[in-house]
Structures are given as structure tokens and as C-alpha cells.
Amino acid sequence: MADPIPAEQVLSSFLNALDVGVIILDRTGTVVWVNEKLCHLAGLSSVELIGRKARDLPALPAVKTSIAPEWVHDSFWEAPEQHGCRPESASPRYGYSRMENGAQLLSTERYIYDDAGTLRYLVLTVYGSTDLVAAREKILELEQRTALYQEQLSALHARVLGHDIVYQSESLRRVFERALRLARLDGNILLTGETGVGKSLLARYIHAMSRRADGPFMHVNCASLPASLIEAELFGYSEGAFTGAARKGRRGVIELGHGGTVFFDEIGDMPVEMQAKLLTVLEDKVIRRLGSERTVQVDVRFLAATNKNPETLLHAGTLRDDLYYRLAMNRIDLPPLREHREDIPALISATLTEFNDKNGTALRFHPQLVARIQTLPFPGNIRELKNLVWQIASESGLQAGELTLQTLPPELTQTIFAQAPSPPAQAAPLSHPPSPQYAGEAESAEAHRWRTFCERYHGDVYAMAEALRVHRTTIIRQLKKYGVSYARKPRAQRTLLAPSSANGS
């Protein structure tokens, strides 16, 4: 068995491997060890340095000038008494030397104590000015590169997704941050949320931010494909596979998506028997065209979306359990617009900018119109909001100017005011449960919000109407719809009438 390597030799090897200079002095201020990097920086050999006193170092011929802590020139163990504290507990102290060979050295100090608290050694770490400049330049380069990446990421968002990717709310920020993390991986993802919340947009975003961004993005709307043709559309077919087939056959959507992403929109509307065939593709990444016995290997990432509650689909048997668990390797739920109303002004602005760019107009919405739109229920979510903005801008007949509630055409005024506004989110107490994602529970949540809103204004429909800037009949209609009790007279009149009522009772 080989003799163990002495600890001193191991320590010397480690210190000589460092890319900074190291010089060690004992408690008498005598140099006891230097590493190879220090000798290289100073232009001195270890023989010239070891055994010298710290106070003698500035007088060496190789040293042009030296600025060091004043007490290094003597026995530095007196430093604690001179400064009234242990040296390392004070602010860091620096030394500076300019060498005859042109090198500029910056040193920092570290004190070593024994178990009894006695000062034993001083360790100086020495950096060359070229090393410091190079490090600073590297940091600046990395900072500039990071800023450039951020700019490129923003530009990529705008180029791929146009004005659609607009959000300011914390809930959507978390959604897109998580989508970006998952995009960098290669697992399947299931997107859920009500109609119009932006599932297709998020799918394109995930593809654009993934390593497959240069590959194709194939969007399959499962609800629009006839059951008789869906297999041929997805898997393709060979020559003569069926009557009317193309002469040379045809590649299917999945095969066309090789190297990219295939997005199954409304996966719950895909026939169950087709889901079983799709499951095989997800597991083995192999397809076989209709009428062919040859299999084709495909490199595809699968995304899927549904506007229905997946658990409801599973319970009803319209979505296979095994397919769901393969697709829902990762799941992202997009909140409905009513849960992030703070994004509505920004969405209106972005949509209006898009309208102006495409039509050469210069229209803008009055803040009161924006505020009124912000109170609408929007069961169609972002898609409905964008359609409304385009409709208002189109029907205005103006090329420039500000659109207000008063300038709206009668049919649009009726459209906006016929829809009962949702009470402001801030009217609800903090203990109010969040609005559920799916339509089946939405009505009870809205009833809770109206009841809370009504209680806040003590049942005064006049006050509620004034708060939402709508006619009181609109408020009454909604309160009746949800069975919420209200007062038929303004609160001020009830207060005036109360004493006479009491006297007559």
C-alpha cells in the first residue's frame, strides 16, 4: 500500500492550482509560503520572498510602489490591540502594489486564529489588474447578453403572437412563466379553460419557446373533423386506400408535424375509438397510414386542449383515462377573463392598436367606455372582448377621435347595456371563494358576488346602479335572476320614512 501523501504537500498542490496569488505570513510578519501564481504576478521567485519580513517587501527591486495597511509593515499581531477589534470583523482592508514588470496587484487579507483565539497567520489573496479587468469585462458582457436575450424574447413574442399576448395580472403572469418552463422540456401538455381564454394562443407560445420552434406547428380542431375522415387526416393514407384517395397517397397531420408540435384542440370531441389509436402514437411515436403495412417513426411533441372539465369528460366516458394521463403529463389551467379583469384595459388597447394598424384609423376609447366594458360578464372571454372592440370601432364610422358611451350606435348601446355588469371584484370580501373555472359552477359564484355587492350597498339599487354606471332596472333584473333581496326605495328615503313608520306601528 502506497504511503499517504503529506497534508502539507496536498495543501500546496491545491493552492498552486488557484488562479489567484496567495502569500502567507506568520504572526511575526514573516513570509512563510507563496504559491506559483503569486510569483508569476510579482515577477519574483519563492526564494526571494519566503523568509522576508512584510515591512521589507516594498523595498524589493521588483517593487515600484506599494500601498498596504499601515500595520502590515510591522508585526501584524498587534493589529487587534491597535484597532480595538479582531481584524476580520472590521471592513475589508486592501493593499496595492505596482511592479517593475508593469503588473498592478490588488491584495485582500484574511486572518487565521487557533482554537485558543490566538492570531497565527495572515493570508493575502493577490489579484492582477489584468485579471480584474477581464473579470469586469466578462460581467459586463454577460449583463449585455442577458439584456439582449430579454429583448430578443420580447421581439419573438411580438413576431410569433402579434398583439395577442397581453397581460398585466399576476394570475396570467404565473401561467406564462410556467408555460415557458414547460416549453423548454419535451413532455406532452394539456391546456384547459373556458372557450375564448386563449388556449390556442398559449399552445403557439409553447411551440415558439420550445426547441422545436423551427419545426412545424400543426393545429387539429377535433370538433370540426368528420368522424369518417379523422383517421385519414391524422395518419394519412397510401395509394388506393379508399375510393377518391389521391393517386400517390397523402401524409397525415401527425407525419407532417415531424420535428415540431401537433396541437389537438377540443380533444374531448375526438371519437373514442380514434383516441385508442392516438394513444399508440403517443406511446410509441409510430404511425401507419391507412391502407399501408409500413410504419413510420415520427418525432412529435403533442399538446391538447379542452374547454370542458376533464374530470367531467372522464366520468362521461368521452375522454379515455389512458389518453388523458398521457396528455396531461403536464397540465395548465387558463383562468377566465372574469378572474383577471385588470387585464381588460390592456387587451382593449392592444386590440384597438391592431384595428388602427389594419384600417389606417386613429381611434381611442374614452376611459368611461373602457370602465363600462370592464364590468361586462364576457362568457366568451378574451375572444368575445376582442370581437366587441372591433365591432365598436367598425360601427363608429370614424377615422380618428375618441369613442364614448354617448357616441355608440343604438344597436351597440343596447348590446352593452343589455348585458348586466358583474359587480366589481373589490366589492367582494377577501374570504370570497375564487370564481370556478367551469360554467356549471359559474352561476352560483355570480350569485354570491351579487349578494355580497347588494349587502355592501344595503340593498339600495339606486346606489348600486350609480356605482356601476347603469340603469337601476339592469341591477334589479340581475338581483331577481339570482334571487337576491333588495329595497324598492333609495336608502335616503327609507331613512326619512323610518321614524314615521315606527310611530305608526
Radius of gyration of the chain (CA): 37
Furthest CA-CA distance within the chain: 114
State which H helix or E strand residue 480 sits in.
helix 472-481
Dihedral angle computed from the Cα positions of residues 40, 44, 46 and 48, in that order, rounded to the nearest 10 degrees: 180
Task: Give pLDDT, residue 436.
Answer: 40
Q: What are phi and psi of 57, to 5 degrees?
A: -60, -45
Task: Give pLDDT, residue 438.
Answer: 40
Query: Which 8-state DSSP code applies to residue 225?
Result: S
Phi-psi region of 256 (alpha: psi -120 to 50; beta: other; left: phi over 0): alpha
Cα–Cα distance between 111 and 69 in angstroms, integer? 14
Q: Cell 355608440 belongs to which residue?
A: 408
Residue 234 in contact with residue 282, Cβ under 8 Å? no
User: What are the grid coordinates assigned to 18, written together?
Assistant: 488557484
What lies within 8 Å, CB to CB, of 417 at 6+ separation is 470, 471, 474
Task: Give pLDDT, residue 156.
Answer: 57
Options 3.30.450.20, 3.40.50.2020, 3.40.1170.10, 3.40.50.2300; CATH of 10-133: 3.30.450.20
Task: Give pLDDT, residue 68.
Answer: 65
Task: Give pLDDT, residue 206.
Answer: 92
Task: Give pLDDT, residue 493.
Answer: 52
State which H helix or E strand residue 107 sits in.
strand 104-113
What lies within 8 Å, CB to CB, of 300 at 6+ separation is 254, 257, 258, 259, 260, 261, 262, 285
Residue 271 in contact with residue 310, Cβ under 8 Å? no
Cα–Cα distance between 200 and 196 in angstroms, integer? 9
Task: Give pLDDT, residue 70.
Answer: 53
Name which of 167, 210, 161 is nearest 189 in CA terms. 210
User: What are the grid coordinates assigned to 387, written together?
Assistant: 370581437
Cα–Cα distance between 139 and 164 in angstroms, integer? 35
Render 317-375 in DSSP notation, one character per residue.
TSS-HHHHHHHTTEEEEPPPGGG-GGGHHHHHHHHHHHHHHHHT-EEEE-HHHHHHHHT
Query: Which 8-state DSSP code applies to residue 418?
Result: H
The three-class DSSP label of residue 191 is: strand
Task: Give pLDDT, residue 441.
Answer: 46
Per DSSP bridges, beta strands 104-113 and 63-67 are: unpaired
The three-class DSSP label of residue 27 is: coil
The residue extents of the domains of the chain are: 10-133, 162-335, 338-402, 425-504
Beta-bridge partner residues of 487: 460
Q: At the topology level of CATH, where does 338-402 sit? A: Helicase, Ruva Protein; domain 3 (1.10.8)
CA distances from 354 to 4, 217, 358, 367, 400 (A): 75, 24, 6, 19, 14
Amino acid, res. 23:
I
Length of the chain, in residues: 505
Cα–Cα distance between 117 and 294 in angstroms, integer? 80
Q: What are phi and psi of 455, to 5 degrees?
A: -65, -35
Render 375-405 in DSSP notation, one character per residue.
TS--TTHHHHHHHHHHHHHHHH--SEEEE-S
Cα–Cα distance between 283 and 234 in angstroms, integer? 16
Residue 121 in contact with residue 165, Cβ under 8 Å? no
- Superfamily for the 162-335 domain: P-loop containing nucleotide triphosphate hydrolases (3.40.50.300)
The three-class DSSP label of residue 304 is: strand
Cα–Cα distance between 24 and 39 in angstroms, integer? 13
Task: Give pLDDT, residue 409.
Answer: 77
* pLDDT tens by residue, the chain, 505 residues: 556 666 677 777 788 888 788 988 888 888 898 988 888 888 888 888 898 887 788 778 778 777 665 545 455 555 544 544 455 544 556 777 888 877 788 888 888 888 887 888 888 888 887 666 666 666 666 666 666 665 555 555 555 554 457 778 888 888 988 998 999 888 999 999 999 999 999 999 999 889 998 899 999 998 888 877 888 888 888 765 555 555 567 888 999 999 999 999 999 989 888 898 898 898 888 988 887 778 889 999 999 999 998 988 998 899 999 999 898 889 999 999 989 999 999 999 989 998 999 999 999 999 988 988 888 888 899 999 999 999 999 988 889 999 988 888 777 776 676 665 666 554 333 333 333 444 444 456 667 778 888 887 888 888 887 777 666 777 887 788 888 888 876 655 544 434 433 334 3
Task: Give pLDDT, residue 439.
Answer: 42
Start-to-end C-alpha separation, the chain: 110
Cα–Cα distance between 227 and 271 in angstroms, integer? 7
Residue 254 in contact with residue 214, Cβ under 8 Å? no
Residue 486 in contact with residue 457, Cβ under 8 Å? no
For residue 363, the Cα-to-chain-centroid distance in whole angstroms is: 32
User: What are the grid coordinates assigned to 340, written together?
Assistant: 383577471
Amino acid, res. 356:
N
Instruction: Tell me the pTM.
Output: 0.55
